[in-house]
Amino acid sequence: MINFSNEEDLYESRSKFLESLVIRKVQGDRLIKKTAIREDLFLLLRYSCYVYIVSCLNHNKFTYEVSNNFDEFILKNAAKITQMANVTPNGVIRPKFETFAEFNLIQKYLNLILNDLGIFHKVQKIRAPISIRVVTSQDDPSILERPRANNRLHSDFWTGAVCDFAVLIPIFGSLDTIDVVFCEPQGVSANYLKEYPNYADGVKTFDSYKEYKTVMEIGNLYLQDIFCLHGTRRRGVGARVSIDFTFQSNDYESTIKPYYSSKAIQSDNHLDVSTWKKIGYENMFFDSEKIEDAENNPSYTLTSLEAKMGSAIKLQTSKTAKMINLNTAEEIINFESNNAV
């Protein structure tokens, strides 16, 4: 359990916790750390994200501007990317039937990166699928006003993320205009670790916040503590593609989990490390829903109150998603059952 009475000690211990997660040198502020990704592995990750996005555009039957420069490609085609049928209002580019191989390739390269950082020894579970997200300066204002819009400062706890830290990786784009602001809440109460359908209610659980100096830079992986406040920051015209996904560390059960509601825990879509590590090898994340189905029935815009809130973690996984073991060609995980509320 967490001792909220001494905030300094609490954040210092969280800082040490983040530092302990990887075997490489980390830099940053207390609740957000960055570490450089090995250059060759980062190139593979960027390549796989590029191939995935191109494949999504093709299967959406969108024409697009070709460029040999990945960042330029994203900037030129950002508006189209956000309009794809498999993109959620919060910008998550969901894998569908036609694009599952490319998506699993991204998972595979993330696996190599996490392995290189030595993170697997420090965690028990990792969320699948990871979120690959596009954010632009031209996003619909009505999306930005949603109670759980990503541009509002928030802790991942408030979304029922059932994790104790997250990893963020900027992949492409103009981070000088579209990035994430990281902040340290000050004067937090125990109510900070609660789920809130409206981020405005979460903001009432601390007195003030300090904006961190750590900013997103291409080529780095960010370890974001569950206490870290964060939100998408738009400072000009541009676009960004990034990856985010959450973890349950070896400490999660004894420290953070007790604060989550049973409803959130029932919706847990984190997988054991051993299962997660096989994605892209013998396990494949697979969605039977096609892009054309998504065009006709976008589940993330269902008229339920919860979906309209945006960003509920369980809604980030399609109800038609499965994990298949290729050795047996059988489903080993059906995410729909995990989504049961």
Report, in Å, the least distance between residue 232 CB and another protein: 29
Kind and range of the H or E element at 126? strand 123-127
Cα Rg of the chain (Å, integer): 19
Report the nearest approach of another protein to the CB of residue 104 (Å). Answer: 6
Question: Rounded to whole angstroms, how far apart are CA atoms 5 and 27?
Answer: 27
Beta bridge partners of 11: none
Q: Which two tokens stand for residue 322?
A: 């499965």
Q: Which of residues 312-341 bind another protein (CB under 8 A)?
A: 324, 326-327, 329
What are the backbone angles phi and psi of residue 22, rounded to the nearest 5°? -125, 160
Site string for another protein, 47-66 (x = CB under 8 A): xx--x--------------x
Interaction between residue 41 and another protein (CB under 8 A): yes
Applying the rule CB under 8 A, the residues between 85 and 144 that interact with another protein are 97-102, 104-105, 108
Q: Under a CB-based contact definition with an 8 Å cutoff, are residues 225 and 14 in contact?
A: yes
Collapsing DSSP to helix, strand or coil, 133 comes out as: strand
Question: Residue 72 or 140: which CB sits closer to another protein?
Answer: 72
Kindly give, in sequence order, each residue whose CB lies less than 8 Å from that of residue 202, ignoring residues fewer than 6 positions away: 154, 155, 158, 192, 194, 196
- Check if the beta carbon of residue 250 is closer than 8 Å to that of residue 123: yes
Residue from the set 2, 36, 43, 57 that interacts with another protein by CB under 8 A: 43
Q: How many residues make contact with another protein (CB under 8 A)? A: 28
Nearest residue (CB) to another protein, 44 versus 332? 44
The interface region with another protein, picked from 22-30, 123-131, 154-162, 274-282 by CB under 8 A, is 274-282
For another protein, the closer of residues 145 and 282 by Cβ is: 282
Closest CA to 119 of 284, 245, 285: 245
Nearer CB in complex with another protein: 325/338: 325
Specify the residue, 105 or 175, whose C-beta has the smaller distance to another protein.
105
- Report the residue number, 206 or 285, with the smaller CB distance to another protein: 285
Segment near another protein (CB under 8 A); pick from 3-11, 43-51, 225-233, 299-307: 43-51
Closest distance to another protein from the beta carbon of 114 (Å) = 15
Q: What is the dihedral of CA 287, 240, 186, 165, to 10 degrees?
A: 40
Query: Would you say 194 and 140 are in contact if contact means Cβ atoms under 8 Å apart?
Result: no
C-beta closer to another protein: residue 276 or 286: 286
d(CA 233, CA 76): 20
By the rule CB under 8 A, 281 interacts with another protein: yes
By CB under 8 A, residue 8 contacts another protein: no
- DSSP category for residue 163: -
Phi, psi of 200 (to 5 degrees): -60, -30
Q: Which CB atom, from 104 or from 131, has the smaller least distance to another protein?
A: 104
Q: Quick one: which of 99, 120, 91 has its CA closest to 22? A: 120
What is the nearest approach in angstroms of another protein to the Cβ of residue 323?
A: 13
Nearer to another protein, 80 or 257 (CB): 80
Among 38-46, 121-129, 140-148, 260-268, the segment contacting another protein (CB under 8 A): 38-46
Closest distance between another protein and the C-beta of residue 282, in Å? 6
Shortest distance (Å) from residue 4 CB to another protein: 44
The tokens describing 8, both together, are 């300094």
Is there a contact between 131 and 243 (Cβ–Cβ < 8 Å)? yes
Query: How many angstroms separate the CA atoms of 188 and 203, rounded?
Result: 10
| Residues contributing to the site for another protein (CB under 8 A) | 39-44, 47-48, 51, 66, 97-102, 104-105, 108, 280-282, 284, 286, 324, 326-327, 329
